[in-house]
Amino acid sequence: MAISITVITTASRSRRFLQTDPANVEQILDSLKRSGQIFSGKPLIIGSAGQTEIFSPQAIACVEIEASRDLSVLVPSSLNLTLTALTPEELAQPFAGGIEGEHVKARIDFFFKGGHVLRTSAEGTRKAALAERLMNLTSLFERPAISYRLPQGGIGLMNPHAMTRFVITPGVADLPRDAWLADLV
Tell me the pLDDT of the chain averaged across its residues. 88
For 68-100, write each residue's pLDDT tens digit. 888 888 887 667 789 999 999 999 988 888 777
C-alpha to C-alpha distances, 27 to 31, 81, 146, 165, nearest whole angstrom: 6, 28, 21, 33
- Burial code (b: 16+ CB inside 10 Å, e: under 16) for 42-52 equals eebebeeeeee
Q: So what's the pLDDT on residue 10?
A: 96
Q: pLDDT category, 169, cuts 50, 70, 90? A: confident
CA-based R_g, the chain, Å = 17
Contact of 146 with 158, CB cutoff 8 Å: yes
163 versus 102: the higher-pLDDT residue is 163
Strand ranges, E, within 86-133: 98-100, 103-112, 117-125
Averaged pLDDT, 52-69: 94
158 versus 102: the higher-pLDDT residue is 158
pTM across the whole model: 0.90
35 versus 4: the higher-pLDDT residue is 4
